[in-house]
Structure formats: C-alpha cells, structure tokens
Amino acid sequence: MLLKNKVAVITGAASVRGLGFATAKLYAEQGAKVVIIDLNAEASRAAAASLGDEHLGLAANVSNELQVNAAIEQVLGKYGRIDILVNNAGITKDNLIMKMSEEEFDKVIEVNLKGAFNCMKHVSRIMLKQRSGHIINMSSVSGVMGNAGQVNYCASKAGIIGMTKSLARELGSRGITVNAIAPGFIETEMTDVLSEDVKENLLGSIPLKRMGQTKDIAETVAFLASDKAAYITGQTISVDGGMGM
C-alpha cells in the first residue's frame, strides 16, 4: 500500500477511460482516500462511488477560482487535510494558427494552465501548514516537443513545466514536492478523435511502437505521490515510449 490513508485530490478524473480515473483507481487500490473533481457533479460522484464508500466526487470548473476554492473547502471539511494534488483536467481545441480563434486559444489556457494554477494556489496553503505534500501536474510530450496544430495546447503544457519548476522552488523548504508528467500518445477519449492516418504517423515516431495505456501513466503518478519519490522535485518525467527523446 504505497498511499495508505493519504488524501488525494485528482482533477478531471470522472471520465472512466481517462488518465485521471486510471490514477484514481490505482490510488484507491494503494490505500488513498480519493477526491474526484470534474465538471459534472453526478459523473464525479458516480466515478468516486465506483471506487468505494470512502471516496468523494465533487463538481468544479478548475478555471473558476471560486468553484475550486469551494471544492477544496469541502475536501478539508470531510478529511481535514490534503496530501496529494494531481492537476489532470485538460482539454484540446486544435487548429492551425491562421484558423485558431481567440476563444480556442483562451479556453485551452484557461483550463489547462490557469486551472492548475487555481488548484495549486489553494492546496499549497494547506500543504504549507501541514509541511508536507506532493503535487503532480499533467503536462504532455506536446509541451516538450511542440506539435503542429496545437499552439494553444503546447503553450499550456509547456507553461505547466515552468509553473512546476517555480512552485517546486517555492515549496521545497517545507518538504513539499512538485513534479510534472509528460505523457506521450495514450489511448483515451482525447486521442480517440484522431484519424487513423494521424495515429499511424504518430506510432511511427514511438520507439516502443505502441500507444501508451492509462495504467502506464497512473503508475508514474502513484510513484511521484509516494515516499519512494521523496527526493524528486521540479522534474518532468516523460512516459511516452521514447517519443520525446
């Protein structure tokens, strides 16, 4: 039991085929009390209930600071502490730059980058008082390498890496670690929408010659939240089959 009795908040974890839910499931198996925060209250509650009675599902739009604050207060009310925060909620709105609207750019930054900021801001306060905690942010191989048609998404995911390093420096002296994960091409609803041609092309650029599974990512998110990773902070761990090297 890597995470026995740890209280873990995971955003964007109500989609049962997604990376967030795979992480929530593994965390629950490893003994954590899991809080799922996602857009839809019913979906969040159902996802949390499927893991067992001691878990909690809440609704919040991570890009809305007031909603994030209210959700975090509910977590504190129920469990009294937060040991782990996983900023996983994320969206894409792909387009070539000439066609990308201001709204497509802003929305992706608001959810992927400001959403993580909002959650880290409120949870940092709690972790600072506790003098312990682990924050794990979901970046992407696209944030490391760039990707045509994704200037908004890549900017948000590269921004996550910068925020991770900055916060690791701010919180390190209080025993709090902050790391990022850069997943490669993983089988979820986010990648289901890609055409067979695009998928074929991407597979050609992966040394391990397969798409990643959600479990591949969840295992790394669990490791970074455990005592085994106590001396790792400010890092971005690539879990991408070698795609981004």
* SS3 category, 93: coil
Which segments within 46-97 are labelled E, that is strand? 56-59, 84-87
Told to check if 115 binds ligand NAD by CB under 6 A, we report: yes
CB of 224 to ligand NAD, least distance (A): 14
Query: What residues does 135 pair with on adjacent strands?
Result: 85, 178
Per CB under 6 A, 15 contacts ligand NAD: yes
CA distance 153 to 134: 24
- 89 binds ligand NAD per the rule CB under 6 A: yes
Which of 62, 72, 75, 113 contacts ligand NAD by CB under 6 A? 62
Which of 163, 62, 179, 39 minimizes the C-alpha distance to 118?
62
79 is catalytic: no
Dihedral, 129, 70, 156, 206 alpha carbons, nearest 10: 80
The distance of closest approach from Cβ of residue 125 to ligand NAD in the complex, given in angstroms and rounded to an integer, is: 20
Place of tokens 């504190």: 76
Among 87-95, 96-104, 161-169, 202-210, the segment contacting ligand NAD (CB under 6 A): 87-95
Nearest Cα neighbor of 186 from 19, 16, 24 is 19
Does residue 54 touch ligand NAD according to CB under 6 A?
no
Q: In this structure, what token pair is assigned to residue 86?
A: 């996983």
140 binds ligand NAD (CB under 6 A): yes
In three-state secondary structure terms, 133 is strand
Which of 9, 19, 108, 243 forms a contact with ligand NAD (CB under 6 A)?
A: 19
Of the candidate spans 14-22, 73-81, 172-180, 197-205, the one that interacts with ligand NAD by CB under 6 A turns out to be 14-22
Number of residues this chain uses to bind ligand NAD (CB under 6 A): 27
What binding mask, one character per residue, do residues 177-196 give for ligand NAD by CB under 6 A, x or -?
Answer: ------x-xx-xxxx-----
Q: Is 68 in the site for ligand NAD (CB under 6 A)?
A: no
Q: Is the Cβ of residue 100 or residue 128 nearer to ligand NAD in the bound state?
A: 100
Spatial distance between the Cα atoms of 112 and 108, rounded to a whole number of angstroms? 6
Q: Could you give the strand order of the β-sheet that contains 7-11, starting from the edge strand earlier in sequence? A: 56-59, 33-38, 7-11, 84-87, 133-138, 176-183, 236-239
Count of other CB atoms within 10 angstroms of residue 71: 24
Interface residue list for ligand NAD (CB under 6 A): 11-12, 14-15, 18-20, 38-39, 61-63, 88-91, 111, 115, 138, 140, 183, 185-186, 188-191
Catalytic residue numbers, as ranges: 153
